Amino acid sequence: MRLRLLRIPAWAGPVTRVAVNGRVQPGVVPGHFATIDREWRDGDRVALVIDRTLRLEAVDAQHPDRVAVMQGPLALFALGGEMPSFTRAQLASVRQRTPGGTEWGFAGSPSFAPYFAFGTETARLYQNVRS
């Protein structure tokens, strides 16, 4: 067998890569399949590293100033009753507060968390962006 296809998600960041036996393969494009055309041998190893960069996605084209904070396929919800508006720079600086944890944020912000990580707390997926 010669051909192997790997689906590269459209949200994959610029550091996404495919390697065969430690050698990075060219032609990795988010939203497309990566093709590896070679003669395979027992023991060959394929490594797929998907870059999950933080990005802001508008709810739709008519509302560019209402955005969701996304990290790869993960949507981050702002938690708490009071929901201020943010600048794009603030939202772009959201980071995990502890490595491997489920709480995200930036200095002085409410906490952000993925859907599976909070219970009955008030939360908002789409954030208002101010200039």
* 3-state SS, residue 75: strand
Closest CA to 78 of 116, 104, 100: 104
Q: Are residues 97 and 43 in the same domain?
A: no
Same-domain pairing of 58 and 86 = yes
| Joined tokens for residue 69 | 């904070």
> 65 lies in which domain range?
54-128
Which tokens hold the place of 108? 């002085």
Residue from 13, 12, 19 nearest 48 by CA: 19
Residue 95, beta-bridge partner list: 105
How many domains in the chain? 2
Place of tokens 């023991």: 43
* Calpha distance 121→118 (Å, rounded): 7
This prediction's pTM: 0.82
Identify whether residues 45 and 70 lie together within a single domain. no
- pLDDT, averaged per 10 consecutive residues of the chain (131 residues), comes to 84 96 94 92 95 95 96 94 88 91 87 92 93 73
How many degrees, rounded to 5, is the angle at CA 83 between CA 101 and CA 117? 25
